[in-house]
Every structure is written in C-alpha cells, then in structure tokens.
C-alpha cells in the first residue's frame, strides 16, 4: 500500500489551495503545453520525455531489488550484452538518480493533469526509496546530497510526504560532519583506500561537491539552522578561490593540508585527461552548482562565478565541438572522446542560469542549451530502442572504467534539462 497521497487527491488539494504542488511554478493544464511542442532536433520535448519514460520503466522493472543502475555494461553498442545498465549497491554515489527520475516524470505528469501516470511514478518511487534508508547517515562520503536530496528531497518537495522529510535533515547534518573550519570546505574523499593518484591527496575537495550544497541550504531554510547555511556558503567561496583556473574553467581537485588549511595543489585528475587539462564534467558541475547556490543565497559573487564558468564552457565548446555542440570528456582531449553526461549537466545549468541574467545573456545561454540538447538528441548520442540508457557515449571514471557508455546521471540531467526547457517556454 503506497504511503503517500494519490495524485488525484493531491490535485484536489492543489485546486482548493490554488498553488502548485510540483517543483515548477507551472499549473496543471489539461492537454499539451506550449513547451512540450518545442523541437529538439527531430523530436518534440514531449516525445523525448516519452522515450525516456519507456526506457526508465524498463530499467526499473528489470533491476534487482536494493540495487541501482550506474553505467551500461560495456561500450560495444552492436552487442546486446552491452545494452543493459549494471547494478550497484545503494551506497554508491548514483543511488539517488533512478528515484529522482521517477519524481521528474511525476512532476511532468502532474503539471499536465495526467494523474494515472503520475500515480504510477509515485508508486515506483515509494517502492524504491526504502533501499536508500541507510544513506542519510552514511558518513564516509561527500555524495550524500546526490543520494538523498535528489531522491528523498524531490519526493518530499513534490508531494509533502512527511516520511521523506527527516532523511533530508539527517543527510544535511551527515554532510556537515565532513566540513572543516580550518579549510573552509567539505572534504570529498577519504583517500586511504583509493587508487593512484587519488591516494596521494591528503585532504581533497572536488568541484563535484557544489552539487551537494542545495540540501544544506534547503534544510537550513526549513529548520533555521544557520550553521548549515554558513558551511554551504563558505564552501562555495573556498571553491571559487581554489578550484578555478585563470580561464574560469575548473580544476577537478584542490588538495589541502587538513591540519592548517594550506592549499597543496590543484589538479584535473583523477578523471581528467591529465593533471593540468580541463575535465569537462567538472566545468558543467560548476555551472549547475553555482547557479543553484545563487538561487538560494542571492549573493552576486555566486552568480558572477556561474556566468564566468558558463562562458568558459561555451568558449571551449566552440573550439572543439562546433559541429554538434556535444562536449568532449576533457576539452583538451585530442582523441575527441565525448561525454554526453557533461553536456546534459551543462545544458540544464545553462537553462537555469538564463533565468537570473539580463536578456542578452539569457538568450546566449538558452541558445547554448538548445544546441547541446539538439546534439544529444541526434542519432549519434541517443541510445537505440533496446538500449537501457537514454544517452550513449558517456565518459564515467576515466581512465579506469565506464568509458564510452550510457550513464544514469547523464540520463537524469538530460531529463532535467528537457523539463526545464519546456517550463522556460511555458512561462513566456
């Protein structure tokens, strides 16, 4: 028995209260909305969402209980054995993306009064969310936000189900345990058991951490805990100071002496092409993360950083990838290997950023997102019908594993970008 209200009852309450239940401020409208008809290459947004829904349903139906998809099995796209997502334990950093996709589709259907489908996505979410029950208290990782806020957070914000509130609060406090006043940041990896070169870092902070801060800001606002807010803000300021190159693209890692806070070095590995190159997904995380932090804090420093990061991304993209606007996994990769997940994250960040800047800049970022999405939706990067993943040609953990595969987080941010794009058009 599902533990939350059915979409039909939620809609009655929505109509009575005259406010939106979904993450978007758009109201429920029977029939197709203007943004649904936007063309992304040969598809409408609505068609791409429908394709995505079908794939994610199939993945969920086949997934072993208490496991989550991460990457497709291998890179041989002609072989059916490579088409399926692998299965990983909930403790892995990707656990929140599948339930997060369920809630993205729930929001999409609620906003279109498709209550039967919305109920079905909510049931899938409710069935799966218990598999993440240990993650809000797992202290050995900085990825608590990815796992908890993208799942429990989305579920609570969209439905108001109180069962999903406390795990978010707990997750924020667990993440806060990794904060150091000395460094002014949240520690990323505990490196003792990692491979080279990660095991050489003493007290690493990675650009990815920017994606976990929204949970702390949200919980701070809900509970009045100023310490969580201050930690997230200071971490963002430290990131600006130490994880940015002179060209306003990002480093992957800043390494510190945890005892005195001294910055020991800045690097683009372990996942970039080399120690000094430009790891593209990190730049995308910077766009998305700083836009989100600005949305909450309204501190101009963070908007300025989001803009600088976005402009560096576009500049590098035009050098390497003018034909289809799908970024390389590293902007300095002479072998021209793409990473569709970086493109999806950047596109979503560009769309959000476009809502906070002046008209000329807004057009620039919307057009960049449009070009990236059209590239991703082309036949080269969309998975065939029998592929689990929505997108292919993602670069996971270079140079060790998940190379040239479908990635669940690429799928998540692709759908996020599509729904943001449709909402942007619908709000005009």
What's the pLDDT score for residue 421?
Answer: 96
CA distance 389 to 410: 9
- pLDDT 10s per residue in the chain (428 long)? 344 445 444 433 333 333 333 333 345 655 556 678 889 999 999 999 999 999 999 999 999 999 999 999 876 777 766 789 999 999 999 999 999 999 999 999 999 999 999 999 999 999 999 999 999 999 999 999 999 999 999 999 999 999 999 999 999 999 999 999 999 999 998 977 777 777 888 999 999 999 999 999 999 999 999 999 999 999 999 999 999 999 999 999 999 999 999 999 999 999 999 999 999 999 999 999 999 999 999 999 999 999 999 999 999 999 999 999 999 999 999 999 999 999 999 999 999 999 999 999 999 999 999 999 999 999 999 988 889 999 999 999 898 888 999 999 999 999 999 999 999 876 65
Residue-range domain boundaries for the chain: 34-89+279-427
CATH of 34-89+279-427, one of 1.50.10.10, 3.20.20.140, 3.40.50.300, 3.50.50.60: 1.50.10.10
Which tokens hold the place of 249? 């693209």
pTM: 0.92
Per-residue 3-state assignment (H helix, E strand, C coil) for 18-41: CCCCCCCCCCCCCCCCHHHHCEEC
CA distances from 173 to 95, 118, 363 (A): 19, 31, 38
- State the pLDDT at residue 80: 66
3-class secondary-structure state, position 189: coil
Cis preceding-peptide flag for 399 (omega within 30 of 0): yes
Measured on CA atoms in the order 172, 236, 22, 151, is the torsion positive or negative? negative
Q: Residue 325: count other Cβ atoms within 10 Å of its Cβ.
A: 23
Q: What does the alpha-carbon distance between residue 328 and residue 372 come to, in Å, rounded to a whole number?
A: 12
Separation between Cα atoms, residue 247 and residue 264, nearest integer Å: 20
């Amino acid at each position: 028995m599902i533990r939350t209200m059915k979409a039909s009852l939620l809609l009655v309450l929505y109509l009575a209260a005259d406010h939106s239940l979904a993450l978007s401020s758009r109201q429920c409208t029977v029939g197709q909305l203007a943004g649904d008809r936007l063309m992304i290459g040969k598809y409408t947004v609505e068609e791409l969402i429908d394709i995505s829904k079908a794939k994610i349903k199939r993945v969920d139906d086949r997934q072993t209980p208490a496991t989550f998809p991460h990457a497709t099995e291998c890179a041989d796209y002609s072989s059916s054995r490579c088409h399926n997502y692998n299965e990983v334990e909930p403790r892995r950093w990707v656990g929140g993306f599948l339930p997060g996709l369920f809630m993205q589709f729930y929001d999409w259907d609620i906003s279109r009064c498709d209550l039967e489908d919305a109920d079905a996505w909510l049931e899938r979410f409710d069935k799966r969310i218990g598999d993440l029950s240990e993650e809000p208290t797992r202290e050995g990782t900085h990825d608590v936000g990815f796992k908890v806020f993208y799942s429990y957070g989305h579920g609570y914000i969209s439905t108001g189900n109180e069962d999903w509130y406390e795990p978010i609060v707990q997750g924020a406090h667990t993440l806060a345990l990794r904060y150091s006043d000395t460094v002014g940041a949240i520690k990323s990896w505990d490196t003792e058991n990692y491979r080279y070169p990660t095991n050489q870092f003493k007290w690493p902070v990675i650009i990815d951490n920017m994606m976990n801060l929204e949970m702390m800001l949200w919980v701070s606002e809900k509970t009045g805990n100023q310490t969580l807010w201050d930690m997230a803000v200071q971490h963002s300021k430290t990131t600006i100071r130490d994880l940015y190159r002179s060209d306003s693209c990002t480093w992957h890692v800043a390494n510190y002496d945890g005892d005195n806070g001294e910055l020991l070095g800045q690097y683009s590995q372990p996942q970039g092409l080399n120690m000094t190159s430009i790891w593209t997904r990190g730049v995308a995380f910077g766009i998305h993360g700083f836009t989100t932090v600005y949305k909450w804090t309204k501190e101009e420093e963070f908007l300025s950083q989001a803009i600088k990061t976005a402009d560096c991304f576009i500049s590098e993209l035009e050098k390497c990838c003018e034909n289809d606007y799908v970024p390389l996994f590293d902007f300095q990769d002479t072998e021209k290997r793409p990473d569709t997940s970086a493109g999806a994250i950047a596109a979503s960040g560009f769309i959000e950023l476009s809502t906070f800047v002046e008209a000329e800049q807004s057009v620039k970022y919307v057009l960049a997102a449009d070009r990236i999405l059209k590239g991703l939706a082309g036949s080269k990067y969309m998975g065939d019908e029998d592929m689990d993943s929505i997108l292919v040609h993602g670069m996971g953990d270079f140079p060790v594993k998940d190379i040239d595969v479908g990635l669940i987080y690429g799928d998540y941010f692709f759908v996020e970008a599509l729904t943001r794009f449709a909402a942007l058009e619908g709000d005009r």
